[in-house]
């Protein structure tokens, strides 16, 4: 990675303490986000993408539900070593997050402008009048028409695309250095999806803001991101430059995801191949390579021993697979 990292996650483990025992939805994740870079995190539902993002902001209940191991270094500080009060100064200020469902994330009894004002005044020494003017400016920045009028409206009065833009405006209120976008276009139609992604890219270019983009859509990653991190069952299984990974994926899971993407030049009558099986529950994690029960390459070694995440000789792509060399054609 050429860009200086603003976020470094090293061997992060997030443990949940449940009635059925301890489970670990984030298990030894290591990744980096450079300054001004957009990094895509991909994988099926249940692979740990959102849990990783929420762990960065320590959003889980640490008194009753969750505990962490490893490092989350942001701007030289380990976030796991901060007090709860210090973390409140980071959330929404230095690191902001856009959640999947804006309607459940916005407060239904407060106006749009009022919610932006609240965010600004929480983190900045600013008066209410100045904050209200800034809120309108932010709504205008995110492409909301008639922002003065919209600022006085409530979430239910806005369309899905408008609400997502409001979430982005709130996330940008304090000019964060890192924006975490968790499936920001899931509930939107295709036209609005494109507008939201274009907006995120534009803000990334203009503000120099780093972005961690969580999605299941490989097409979005190809169009938006410079690097990609593929996760499966709480672990990173492949990571590298988007062009390198998409041109020559080295992990069977990544290969399966790529084959399942519709192609414009393909046979429209031909059924798309899928990755066989499904992501198992966290309390039924298989021994050895976690993808082995779904993998056509799996052998006894795969089913008994966990491979490390490592780069092949002559490659910058890191992969967690015993057969990556054979897939790459560098060994028999």
Output the domain CATH number for residue 254. Answer: 3.40.50.300
Together in a domain, 135 and 52:
no
The last residue of one of the domains, among 141, 175, 209, is: 175
Pair 258, 246: CB distance under 8 Å: yes
Together in a domain, 160 and 183:
no
Alpha carbon distance 275, 251 (integer Å):
12
Together in a domain, 111 and 204:
no
Average pLDDT of span 86-101: 90
Q: What pLDDT sits at residue 268? A: 57
Together in a domain, 210 and 253:
yes
Pair 164, 179: CB distance under 8 Å: no
Q: What pLDDT sits at residue 318? A: 96
**260 belongs to a structural domain:** yes
**100 belongs to a structural domain:** no
Together in a domain, 163 and 187:
no
What would the two tokens of residue 171 be? 């996330």
**Structural domain harbouring 66:** 5-94+176-328
**99 belongs to a structural domain:** no
The last residue of one of the domains, among 142, 175, 208, is: 175
Structure letter (DSSP) for residue 91: B
Together in a domain, 79 and 114:
no
What would the two tokens of residue 71 be? 């490092």
Q: What is the pLDDT of residues 291-314, one digit of tens each?
A: 999 999 999 999 999 999 999 888
What is the value of pTM for the model shown? 0.90
Q: What pLDDT sits at residue 306? A: 96
Q: What is the pLDDT of residues 94-150, one digit of tens each?
A: 999 998 777 778 999 999 999 999 999 988 899 999 999 999 999 998 889 999 999
Pair 115, 108: CB distance under 8 Å: no
**155 belongs to a structural domain:** yes
Together in a domain, 127 and 247:
no
Say how many domains are in the chain: 2
What would the two tokens of residue 168 be? 């982005």
Together in a domain, 144 and 204:
no
**132 belongs to a structural domain:** yes
Average pLDDT of span 2-8: 82
Together in a domain, 291 and 258:
yes
Q: What pLDDT sits at residue 185? A: 79
Among 29-33, 149-153, 210-214, 273-277, the minimum mean pLDDT is found in 273-277
The last residue of one of the domains, among 151, 175, 199, is: 175
Pair 252, 321: CB distance under 8 Å: yes
* pLDDT greater than 60 at residue 257: yes
Give 4's pLDDT tier (boundaries 50, 70, 90): confident
**292 belongs to a structural domain:** yes
Q: What is the pLDDT of residues 54-65, one digit of tens each?
A: 999 999 999 989
Q: What pLDDT sits at residue 308? A: 96
Among 77-81, 148-152, 198-202, the minimum mean pLDDT is found in 198-202
């Amino acid at each position: 990675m050429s860009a200086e990292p603003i976020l470094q996650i090293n061997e992060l483990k997030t443990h949940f303490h449940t009635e059925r025992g301890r489970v670990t939805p984030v298990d030894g994740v290591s990744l980096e986000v450079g300054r001004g870079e957009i990094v895509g995190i991909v994988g099926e539902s249940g692979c740990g993408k959102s849990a990783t993002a929420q762990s960065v902001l320590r959003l889980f209940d640490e008194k009753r539900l969750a505990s962490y191991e490893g490092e989350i270094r942001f701007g030289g500080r380990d976030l796991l070593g901060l007090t709860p009060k210090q973390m409140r100064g980071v959330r929404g200020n230095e690191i902001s997050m856009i959640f999947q469902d804006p309607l459940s994330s916005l407060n239904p009894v407060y106006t749009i402008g009022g919610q932006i004002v609240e965010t600004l005044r929480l983190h900045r020494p600013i008066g209410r009048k100045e904050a209200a003017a800034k809120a309108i400016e932010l709504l205008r920045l995110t492409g909301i028409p008639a922002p003065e009028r919209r600022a006085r409206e409530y979430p239910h009065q806005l369309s899905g695309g408008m609400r997502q833009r409001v979430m982005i405006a709130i996330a940008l209120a304090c000019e964060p250095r890192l924006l975490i976008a968790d499936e920001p276009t899931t509930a939107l139609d295709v036209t609005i999806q494109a507008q939201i992604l274009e907006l995120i890219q534009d803000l990334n270019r203009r503000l120099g803001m780093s972005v961690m983009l969580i999605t299941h859509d490989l097409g979005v990653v190809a169009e938006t991101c410079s690097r990609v991190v593929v996760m499966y069952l709480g672990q990173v299984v492949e990571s590298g430059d988007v062009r390198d990974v998409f041109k020559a994926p080295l992990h069977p899971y990544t290969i399966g995801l790529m084959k399942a993407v519709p192609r414009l030049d393909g046979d429209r009558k031909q059924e798309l191949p899928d990755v066989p099986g499904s992501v198992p529950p966290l309390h039924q994690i298989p021994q050895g390579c976690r993808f082995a029960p779904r993998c056509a390459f799996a052998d006894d070694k795969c089913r008994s021993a966990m491979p490390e995440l490592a780069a092949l000789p002559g490659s910058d792509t890191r992969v967690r697979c015993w057969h990556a060399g054979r897939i790459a054609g560098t060994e028999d």
